[in-house]
Amino acid sequence: MKQFKNILFFLFLLICVSTIQSAYAQTKTIALYKGIIIKHSVIVKKQLYHFEGTDSLSIAPVIIEGENITVDFNGAVIEGSTDIENPDKFKGTGVIIKSGSHITIKNLTVKGFKVGLIARGIKRLTISGSDFSYNYKQHLNSTRDREDLADWQSYHHNEHDEWLRYGAGIYLRGCDNFVVGTTTITNGQCGLMLTGCNNGIIHDSNFSFNSGVGIGMYRSSWNKVLFNRIDWNVRGYSDGVYYRGQDSAGILSFEQCNNNLIGNNSVTHSGDGFFLWAGQSTMDTGQGGCNDNILYANDFSYAPTNGVELTFSRNQIIDNIIHDCWHGIWAGFSYNTVIANNDFSGNISTIAIEHGMDNTIAQNTFNDEKIAIELWSNPKRPKDFGYLQNRDTRSVNYLISDNVFTNVKKVFNINNTVDIKIVSNKLAGSVMPQKLDSTTSSVLFDKNGEQIIPVINDKYKPERAKGLIKGLTFNSKFPKGRKYIMMNEWGPYNFRYPIAWWQKTDSAGKIYLDMMGPAGKWKIVKMKGASNPSAQNGEFPAKLAIQKDTASLTDIDVEMEYTGAAVTSPFGVKSKAGAPYLFHYREFNAPTQWQMQWFAFDDTNEPLKHEDEFKKLIGGSPAKTTTGKLLADVFGKNFGKNIARQKIATVSTTEINVPAATYRLGISASELVKLYVDGKLVIENWDPAKLKNDEDNHKDAIIKLRGRHTIRVEQAQYGDYGMLNFRLEKM
């Protein structure tokens, strides 16, 4: 009887498989064309389809709508712009899923658009096995030696799709019960961006090496983000120079995102690993927040700013790895928050909480930290927004227990905080104060010291994380550490192509380079503007030194040839293993000496309403004059000195002497600016109505120059935000 049942079951399986194969065989195979609307299940003919994007994100060459359909793109590639070296010029949307439910998209590649795929209001959308890499990203103005404030991003509002100005690989709005799995979005600015999407799953995907955000959530709750690679989503960093991250993040959670489970993800080398903000509605009313999110068993290491940032909310951070960040966790105004069982090491300030309440810090390990735990409040802080007016924001009621502190320089930095229980913590090579300053009170120290054996268990492990285990950590095929956040003009270096990375230039003009990239060999093909290389060829990794030819104009181009493993260029072009690949070390610097004249204006001669009077003002005697080599320094170091910080204007001039070439001139200013070359207006950014976001304060011009030219910059500002940065780049 049992054997008979097995035979029947086997026959049943054969019938099912045969039925599925027959149905799949009957699915129509189609070729794409611009304007196609797909309403039924299809298989797309595998080939490259070139469809130039339009100025509107609401129009796409491929539209999908329907119920219970599967569109198998079968490895087809939809390509927008072919001007791949200018991704800030990409426009349009590759694919729009317009209406319907239970739609599956698989095996699709989209590149060269402002947005790869947009779906709105689609229930039970599944995207798998697809690639939305190499879409839009901004040209960055920050350099190795100077941060440009116009590169800062803002994700604080998205009620009207404001996020789309930064592009995206995938943008979903109102798509509940979605699934995004085994999908790649790299080398753009923003990866997977969600608004009003609930009960979704994001799993086993790669959202790395983007210049803004890997995964972004806005008013999106009850989602699961599991087993993903979300590394190197970063900007605003130059090792040892500046490190503010410019609001980049591996995972972004803004405005009423609740009950999300973030588990078993590698989220390293990103501006913030996880960046949570309660939202403007909470700031205004004191209500709501981004609450009850669980961060479990992730790796948030090597963040220039915060491994985890969560503010004005209630959350759980458990069993994570957070190494070598500025702040391991920044949790301002957090309440009822649990930070437990985490592995901290090498952070500057490991846990920093201002105005926190009813928080637990337990069962964590702290190794080689500068400061382990900082708690504080400002009793005199003005109540200048709704949250402070409607909430109790004292720093009060902490449980700090069963932690292990090893070689921590300063275990606590606490002030203006009351009701703290510090119990059963072990110290090794660390000193715990038994008395805090007079601004703290009701502090209980009990059973702390070298001989203490803390209780480490799963007490704090959330029920919803019970199915997850530690395991997914940083991808070891890449080098680790903040020094490997290596930014170029388009974003972070991704280790998939060879580079000669500048390390330093000594006083004698010798330039020291790190030769990095996939395994292989390199050789110098030709050199301009430099000589005397320390080696003509070598293998990766290696060191190379070259000598600048002159002490004035720097115009260096060292062309090198690589042979070795397969290479993917910075813009996504693939070369086969063994094929020669050319790469360059380039450096250009035209010396300048700026003279800046400073003026103070008032209502009678302000620049917008009284243009003629303003011209008279800046044509007259300045309030002061300053000089220097770099415009940003001449402005920044003198801003507010012997002149007001508001209602000021500056007029700056310099001369340049450059070889014949095409150049990018860039100016970042607060607020209004005009740039002239030899008296001709080249850049004008003089309309305050157009200055809504940080990036609006920067403008570029592409211009041909040769020989000597005079540069003149006129700038005016009403507020006290000081920025004036000029950049000349040889194309």
Backbone angles phi and psi of 387, in degrees to 5: -60, -45
Residues 6+ apart with CB under 8 A from 651: 596, 597, 599, 618, 622, 712, 713, 714, 715
In angstroms, the CA 37 to CA 33 distance is 9
487 exposure class (CB count in 10 Å sphere: 0-12, 13-18, 19+)? buried
In angstroms, the CA 152 to CA 212 distance is 10
Q: What is the pLDDT of residue 432?
A: 87
The three-state secondary structure class of 607 is coil
The three-state secondary structure class of 6 is helix
In angstroms, the CA 350 to CA 327 distance is 5
In angstroms, the CA 184 to CA 454 distance is 42
Res 181 pLDDT > 70: yes
The three-state secondary structure class of 87 is helix
CA-nearest of 162, 163, 164, 207 to 184 is 207
- The DSSP secondary-structure symbol of 388 reads H
CA of 457: how far to CAs of 364, 427, 450, 470, 471, in Å?
A: 11, 19, 20, 14, 18
CA-nearest of 75, 181, 165, 57 to 119 is 57
In angstroms, the CA 386 to CA 379 distance is 16
Q: What percent of the chain has pLDDT over 90?
A: 91
User: How many helices, marked H, and strands, marked E, lie in the chain?
Assistant: 5, 55
pLDDT tens for 392-437 read: 999 999 999 999 999 999 999 999 999 999 999 999 999 888 888 8
In angstroms, the CA 128 to CA 130 distance is 5
- The DSSP secondary-structure symbol of 285 reads H
In angstroms, the CA 319 to CA 340 distance is 7
CB of 360 closer than 8 Å to CB of 340: yes
Structure token pair of residue 53: 């994007």
Q: What is the pLDDT of residue 8?
A: 41
> Read out DSSP for 681-726?
EEEEE--GGG--SGGGGEEEEEEEEEEEEEEEEEEEESSS---EEE
Q: What is the 3-state secondary structure (H, E, C) of 89-130?
A: HCCCEEEEEEEEEEEEEECCEEECCCEEEEEECCEEEEEECC
Which H or E run includes 375?
A: strand 371-376
- Give the pLDDT band (50/70/90) at residue 78: very high
Res 214 pLDDT > 80: yes
CB of 470 closer than 8 Å to CB of 297: yes
**For residue 460, how many C-alpha atoms fall within 13 Å in the half-sphere facing its CB?**
27
In angstroms, the CA 440 to CA 461 distance is 31
Q: What is the pLDDT of residue 471?
A: 66
Q: What is the pLDDT of residue 271?
A: 97
- Give the pLDDT band (50/70/90) at residue 23: very low
Backbone angles phi and psi of 549, in degrees to 5: -80, -35
Residues 6+ apart with CB under 8 A from 144: 238, 241, 487, 502
In angstroms, the CA 492 to CA 443 distance is 45
Q: pLDDT: is 245 or 3 the higher one?
A: 245
**Pairing label, strands 698-717, 648-669:** antiparallel
- Give the pLDDT band (50/70/90) at residue 12: very low
Whole-structure pTM value: 0.93
Q: pLDDT: is 9 or 551 the higher one?
A: 551
Q: What is the pLDDT of residue 5?
A: 45
Length of the chain: 731
**Pairing label, strands 499-505, 487-488:** unpaired
Average pLDDT over residues 316-336: 98
CA-nearest of 76, 74, 75 to 61 is 76
Q: What is the pLDDT of residue 16?
A: 43
CA of 413: how far to CAs of 169, 199, 349, 405, 452, in Å?
A: 42, 40, 10, 14, 22
- Give the pLDDT band (50/70/90) at residue 474: low
Structure token pair of residue 279: 């939202």
CA-nearest of 585, 564, 584 to 576 is 564
CB of 74 closer than 8 Å to CB of 107: yes
Cis peptide before 671 (omega within 30 of 0): yes
CB of 648 closer than 8 Å to CB of 600: yes
- Give the pLDDT band (50/70/90) at residue 11: very low
Res 15 pLDDT > 60: no
Res 7 pLDDT > 80: no
pLDDT tens for 651-669 read: 999 999 999 999 999 999 9
CA-nearest of 577, 589, 513, 517 to 546 is 513
Mean pLDDT of all residues in the chain? Answer: 94
How far is C-alpha 248 from the geometric centre of its chain's CA atoms?
3
In angstroms, the CA 645 to CA 530 distance is 43
What stretches of 272-314 adopt beta strand conformation (E)?
Answer: 272-277, 293-296, 306-311
In angstroms, the CA 337 to CA 316 distance is 6
CA of 475: how far to CAs of 18, 498, 536, 599, in Å?
A: 41, 19, 33, 54
* Domains defined along the chain, listed by start: 35-465 (2.160.20), 496-587 (2.60.40), 594-730 (2.60.120.260)
CA-nearest of 414, 299, 295, 294 to 351 is 414
pLDDT tens for 574-607 read: 999 999 999 999 999 999 999 999 999 999 999 9
Q: What percent of the chain has pLDDT over 70?
A: 96
Structure token pair of residue 310: 């969560």
Angle at 429 between CA 423 and CA 432, to 5 degrees: 35
- Give the pLDDT band (50/70/90) at residue 341: very high
- Give the pLDDT band (50/70/90) at residue 483: very high
pLDDT tens for 491-549 read: 999 999 999 999 999 999 999 999 999 999 999 999 999 999 999 999 999 999 999 99
Which H or E run includes 13?
A: helix 2-26
